[in-house]
Amino acid sequence: MLDDSDDDIHPLFNGAPRCLEFRKLRKRLVQQAREAIDTYGMARAGDRWLVCLSGGKDSYTLLAVLHELKWRGLLPVDLLACNLDQGQPGFPATTLPEFLTRMGVEHRIEYQDTYSVVTSRIKPGGTMCSLCSRLRRGNLYRIAREEGCSTVVLGHHRDDILETFFMNLFHGGRLASMPPRLLNEDGDLFVARPLAFVAEADCETFARAMAYPIIPCDLCGSQEGLQRVQVKKLLDGWELRSPGRRQIMFRALMNVRPSHLADRSLFDFAGLAAALADTDNSLQLLAER
| Amino acid, res. 86 | Q
Beta bridge partners of 159: none
Report residue 58's pLDDT band, with 50, 70 and 90 as the boundaries.
very high
- Does residue 284 surpass a pLDDT of 70? no
Decide which of 3.40.50.620, 1.10.3720.10, 3.30.110.40, 3.40.640.10 is the CATH code for 6-256.
3.40.50.620
- pLDDT the model gives residue 153: 98
- Does residue 122 surpass a pLDDT of 90? no
pLDDT tens digit sequence for 198-245: 999 999 999 999 999 999 865 554 444 578 889 999 999 999 999 999
- pLDDT the model gives residue 274: 77
Contact 257, 267 (CB under 8 A): no
Dihedral over Cα of 159, 163, 169, 172: its sign: negative
Planar angle of CA 209, 215, 220, nearest 5 degrees: 125
If we measure between CA atoms, which residue out of 160, 171, 178 comes closest to residue 246? 160
CA separation for the pair 79, 73 (Å, rounded): 13
- pLDDT the model gives residue 223: 47
- pLDDT the model gives residue 8: 64
- Does residue 56 surpass a pLDDT of 70? yes
CA separation for the pair 198, 52 (Å, rounded): 17
Task: Find the mean pLDDT for residues 173-184.
Answer: 96
Dihedral (C-alpha) 63, 66, 72, 77: value to the nearest 10 degrees?
Answer: -120
Task: Find the mean pLDDT for residues 171-178.
Answer: 94
Contact 114, 85 (CB under 8 A): no
Planar angle of CA 156, 160, 161, nearest 5 degrees: 95
Task: Find the mean pLDDT for residues 9-32.
Answer: 94
If we measure between CA atoms, which residue out of 229, 220, 210 comes closest to residue 160? 229
